[in-house]
């Protein structure tokens, strides 16, 4: 495993799941550094009353300096990193792909290719089943 984050606080997205029957994927997207102060990491804003993250917010904020940036400006610059075991050939590897869901067999998913066999491996939203071809 490469530079896997030590805490969920460092991540915008994190998942650890099985793919097919024999494959495994651990994927994450680390929070970007603040372009203003360079000290904090940009993240979704936190509600002062409850202390919970505002998941549906359309902007990111730096906890150090309070700098705000739109979600649409930050998310295209992010990349998803994944440590995986390929369900098709058994290869263990690490790869990087863009942080954008694409349609894969009728389901929105982050998709990357196995470095050895070249087959596509999807990371779907939880509980979304890939549609089988008839």
Going from N- to C-terminal start, the domains of the chain cover: 8-124
Q: How many angstroms separate the CA atoms of 4 and 29, rounded? A: 10
pLDDT digits (tens, 9 = 90+) for 18-73: 888 888 999 999 988 888 887 888 888 888 888 888 888 889 998 888 888 898 88
The sign one gets for the Cα dihedral 72, 54, 108, 78 is positive
Across 14-18, average pLDDT: 90
Query: Do residues 53 and 46 touch, judged by C-beta distance below 8 A?
Result: yes
pLDDT score for 1: 41
Is pLDDT of 17 > 70? yes
Mean pLDDT rounded to a whole number for the chain: 86
Where does the pLDDT of residue 80 fall: very low under 50, low under 70, confident under 90, or very high at 90 and above? very high
pLDDT score for 3: 73
pTM score of the predicted model? 0.81
């Amino acid at each position: 495993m490469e530079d896997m984050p030590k805490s969920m606080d460092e991540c915008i997205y994190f998942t650890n799941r099985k793919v097919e029957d024999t494959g495994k994927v651990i994927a994450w997207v680390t929070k970007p550094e603040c372009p203003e102060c360079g000290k904090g990491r940009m993240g979704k804003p936190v509600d002062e009353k409850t202390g919970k993250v505002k998941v549906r917010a359309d902007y990111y904020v730096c906890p150090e300096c309070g700098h705000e940036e739109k979600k649409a400006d930050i998310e295209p610059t992010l990349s998803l990193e994944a440590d995986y075991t390929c369900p098709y050939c058994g290869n263990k590897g690490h790869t990087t792909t863009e942080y954008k869901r694409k349609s894969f067999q009728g389901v929105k998913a982050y998709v990357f290719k196995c470095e050895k066999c070249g087959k596509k491996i999807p990371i779907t939203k939880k509980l979304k089943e890939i549609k089988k071809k008839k």
